[in-house]
C-alpha cells in the first residue's frame, strides 16, 4: 500500500513539474498561440525515462488548435515495446477553440509481460479519421 501511495505522489509531482514547464514555455512564446509556429501536439514528456514492468509512468503532452475554427480532435496515446507489442494507453476526444491549447496527461501501467528494451510512446492527434500530427518519446523498460 505504501509503495502504491509513493507512486501516486511521484506521478502528481511530475505532473506539477511538467505543467509548470509547459506554462513557462508558453509564456516565452515557444509554440504558443501568436508565435510563428504552431504545434498540434508537443513531444510527450515522461515522469520517468526508465521503468520496470509492473510500474506506472506518467505521460504528458500538449495539444493545440492551430486553426481559426473550433475543432474536435481525437487524441490517442500508445506504446510499442521492443518486441513490437502495441498497447493503446488512452484515447479521448477534446474540443478546442481557435488557438487554444490543452495539456493531456495519462498514466501508463506497464504490463508485467512487457519486453525489456526501448519502447516508443506516441501521442497522436486525429481530426475525423485523418492523422494531423504525431510525436514520440523513448521509454526504456528494464
The model's pLDDT over 63-113, given as tens digits with 9 standing for 90+, comes to 999 999 999 999 999 999 999 999 999 999 999 999 999 999 999 999 999
Q: What is the pLDDT of residue 31?
A: 42
**Residue 8 confidence (pLDDT) above 90:** no
The model's pLDDT over 22-46, given as tens digits with 9 standing for 90+, comes to 444 443 344 444 444 678 999 999 9
What's 41's DSSP letter? B
**Residue 18 confidence (pLDDT) above 60:** no
pTM: 0.74
Domain boundaries, the chain: 2-141
CATH superfamily of the domain spanning 2-141: Immunoglobulins (2.60.40.10)
For residues 37-58, b (16+ Cβ closer than 10 Å) or e, as one string? eebbbbebbbbeeebeeebbbb
Amino acid at each position: 500500500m505504501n509503495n502504491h501511495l509513493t507512486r501516486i505522489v511521484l506521478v502528481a509531482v511530475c505532473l506539477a513539474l511538467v505543467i509548470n514547464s509547459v506554462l513557462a514555455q508558453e509564456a516565452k512564446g515557444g509554440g504558443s498561440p501568436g508565435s510563428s509556429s504552431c504545434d498540434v501536439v508537443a513531444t510527450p514528456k515522461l515522469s520517468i525515462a526508465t521503468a520496470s514492468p509492473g510500474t506506472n509512468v506518467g505521460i504528458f503532452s500538449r495539444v493545440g488548435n492551430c486553426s481559426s475554427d473550433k475543432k474536435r480532435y481525437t487524441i490517442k496515446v500508445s506504446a510499442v515495446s521492443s518486441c513490437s507489442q502495441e498497447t493503446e494507453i488512452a484515447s479521448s476526444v477534446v474540443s478546442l477553440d481557435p488557438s487554444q491549447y490543452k495539456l493531456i496527461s495519462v498514466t501508463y501501467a506497464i504490463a508485467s509481460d512487457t519486453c525489456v528494451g526501448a519502447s516508443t510512446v506516441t501521442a497522436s492527434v486525429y481530426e475525423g479519421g485523418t492523422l494531423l500530427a504525431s510525436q514520440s518519446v523513448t521509454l526504456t523498460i528494464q
